[in-house]
Structure 1
Amino acid sequence: MPRPPRSTWAALTPDQLLAQCEVDTYRASGPGGQKRNKTSSAVRLRHPPTGLLVIAEESRSQHENKARALDRLGQALYLHLRDGMPPDLTPETVAELRDYAAARDRTGRLSLGRKDPRFWPAVGVVLDLLAATGARVAETASLLGVSTGNLIDFLQTDPKVWQVANQLRAAAGRKPLK
């Protein structure tokens, strides 16, 4: 069954997204002392409409773990759900995409850090284009209006983004990026 497009959920507020989730709390295993082993502070979020599942169990606070899990769910939307791209893609139409328009700096480069709120929406657009071009990096970079090196640097900003990019390449029968 194909997954629904990301745009269906990416615009939701965290509270709206959380309302669609099944929330499980449980006792996390591992080090952390008596408190960690006695309280159900770990959080697992299941988002049935998309089939995504994320967990957070680092903190002894259930509230902190729920916030982390919700952030991870937002990231997972951009990593694993693809929005279709129109067939008549040009660098001009890509530059006007809402999630990509503000992502480039004054020189036209993609140079966002992972903590920048524009990072994950830009990742979504980059991965959508990579999927639409058959995972051809040069063609994707051309559509984004950046150099191939800049695109590869951007993909390497986060290990999960790099992993998904290489999964898209493998699905298209291409060699992994190194």
Structure 2
Amino acid sequence: MDNEHLTYRDYARYARQSAEEVARDCEAEAFRASGPGGQCVNTTDSAVRMTHLPTGITVTSRESRSQFRNRQLCLQKLRQEFVERAVPPKVRHATRPSRAARQRRLDHKHLRAQVKVQRRRIDE
């Protein structure tokens, strides 16, 4: 599936899948995390970057020193992203301005016109 053609219903379907089902559709990559953590961070490939192939969503986890735990966290992040994208868009209703709103707009236009008239040069 192409990311551009996915609807909120597609994301809802992915959100209902178990972590194992989501993991089957993912491509995981382990790498060395940067930042705090001492020498342990410099020597182990504990950070995980996971890409969900059907949607193209990529998440990264480097919170834990364990690669296994970071994989679990990536799956949690992916499922959370599916839940957020599964919200249907709000239905918009066309409205018309009220009579009072139209009158306020015309009154404001009249006031601006009067201000501009006051700026003109006075011819003698």
The TM tier, using the shorter chain, reads 0.5 to 0.7
Which of structure 1's runs of 4+ aligned residues deviate more than 4 A?
none
Instruction: Return the letter of the residue paired with 2:77.
Output: R
Name the structure 2 match of 1:133. Answer: 91
% identity of equivalent residues: 36
Q: Is the 8 A contact 2:12 2:83 kept in 1?
A: no
Map of 1:58 onto structure 2:
63
| Cα deviation 1:44-93 (Å, max 9, x = unaligned) | 1100111111110011110111111110000010123x4xxxxxxxxxxx
Corresponding residue of 2:6: 3
Which one has a larger percent strand, Structure 1 or Structure 2? 2
Structure 1: tracts of 5 or more residues without a match: 83-126, 135-178
Give, as a single letter, the amino acid of the residue that structure 1 aligns with 2:54: P
TM-score (norm 1): 0.46
Q: Distance in 2 between matches of 1:11 and 1:79?
A: 12
Structure 1 residue corresponding to 2:30, chosen from 22, 25, 29: 25
Q: How far apart are 1:132 and its partner, in Å?
A: 2.9
Asked if 1:75 corresponds to 2:80, the answer is yes
Q: Which has the larger radius of gyration?
A: 2
Q: Would you say 1:37 and 2:42 are equivalent positions? A: yes
RMSD over aligned Cα atoms: 1.4
Q: Matches of 2:67 and 2:30 in 1, distance apart? A: 8
Larger RCO, structures 1/2 (Cα 8 Å, 6+ apart): 2
Q: Deviations over 1:98-151 (max 9, x none)?
A: xxxxxxxxxxxxxxxxxxxxxxxxxxxxx32xx1324xxxxxxxxxxxxxxxxx
